[in-house]
Amino acid sequence: MTQTPPAAPKALTPALHSKLPQVGTTIFSVMSALAQEHGAVNLGQGFPDFACDPALVNAVTQAMQAGHNQYPPMPGIPALREAVARKIEVLHGHAYDPAQEITITAGATQAILTAVLAVVRPGDEVIVLDPCYDSYAPNIVLAGGTVVRVPLVPGSFRPDFDAIARAIGPRTRLLMVNTPHNPSGTVWSAEDMQTLEELLAPTEVLLLSDEVYEHMVFDGADHQSVARFPGLAARSFVVSSFGKTFHVTGWKVGTVAAPAPLMAEFRKVHQFNVFTVNTPMQHGLAAYLQNPQPYLQLPAFYQAKRDLFRQGLSTTRLRLLPSTGTYFQCVDISAVTDRTEADFCMWLTREVGVAAIPLSAFYGDGFDQGIVRFCFAKQDATLHEAIRRLQRL
């Protein structure tokens, strides 16, 4: 007698409750896809369209050929950590121990998430200054913390220290700052840092300082790293990015500097979310850092691009806002349109052929003030073409 085989169990994907229910595709991915679809000049997402120094590629190639292709030490190869520590000490006067206080990360975004996971527990509050990089708030949520948003001063994007002081409470664990600032292109002054140092001095609040645009400060000003201020350095994770500095954003290699007790906790998380970072690129970067000229020349390199772009934009109806750092230029669109920032950026990409990013995407509440952001980390020919198209407005 033939038996009927039992029916296969029904395939079922179990339901789950998202840890990030409000998070979808980022505005950067949306605008880049739209720019590609319409053949637009992509001044939205913040990456260069030009090559890095061939000497850096050669250094990585030589490292691979020399056999540096297996796991490196968890915190990074000693030569690179030593080079980073030397660079910070020369530029900012603070001596970090490369063995205990410098860690190489898989880009700055991983560094930020790791720092947040290392120190933020459920119930802790973390202050972010809006507008801010879009990874900050999800990182805090993943750690079980509560996001406390304090707006920068609208228009000037300066820190409002009175508002920051009011936001600090008994549950505040961490404050996140970013200078030079994405998206606004503003730069904190030494006086700003001193004010922050005094504000935090009587507290137990930790500081995460996102300094990925550290070498893009213009008009003869200096980057004021928190490492320059002992009272801040003692409580800070300082995050930087080789991708931003050396035009290799796709390599995803960054650094964190922090006092040994903070770094010990950072490394506990780091070893279990990425363990370690691409070996030949670490060796290549260590060799390349022996010559400081590539990063010392970066302010002049990007200031020339900023000035070219600003001169061109001055012939359009867009109103220029100051850009004292980063490779971003914000403009006021109120003389051109009554559309929302997001709608304007979509229209601009489709109809004019230039992609930008709405500043509202960097605010937790979508605050719309009629400002959009362009990236000028592009070849001069790219910028000239974008200007030509924007002159139609």
pTM: 0.95
- Please answer whether residues 111 and 152 qualify as being in contact, where contact means their C-beta atoms are separated by less than 8 angstroms: no
CATH of 27-46+296-390, one of 3.90.1150.10, 3.40.50.10540, 3.30.460.10, 2.60.40.10: 3.90.1150.10
Burial of 265 (C-beta count, 10 Å sphere; 0-12/13-18/19+): middle
Q: Do 325 and 213 form a contact (C-beta atoms < 8 A)?
A: yes
Question: CATH number for the 54-291 domain, one of 3.90.550.10, 3.40.640.10, 2.40.100.10, 3.30.40.10?
Answer: 3.40.640.10
- For the record, the structure tokens of 25 come out as 């595709």
Strand partners, 238: 209, 257
3 state DSSP class of 177: strand
Domain residue spans of the chain: 27-46+296-390, 54-291
pLDDT per residue rounded down to tens, the chain (393 residues): 567 777 888 899 999 999 998 888 788 888 889 999 999 999 998 889 999 999 999 999 999 999 999 999 999 999 999 999 999 999 999 999 999 999 999 999 999 999 999 999 999 999 999 999 999 999 999 999 999 999 999 989 999 999 999 999 999 999 999 999 999 999 999 999 999 999 999 999 999 999 999 999 999 999 999 999 999 999 999 999 999 999 999 999 999 999 999 999 999 999 999 999 999 999 999 999 999 999 999 999 999 999 999 999 999 999 999 999 999 999 999 999 999 999 999 999 999 999 999 999 999 999 999 999 999 999 999 999 999 999 999
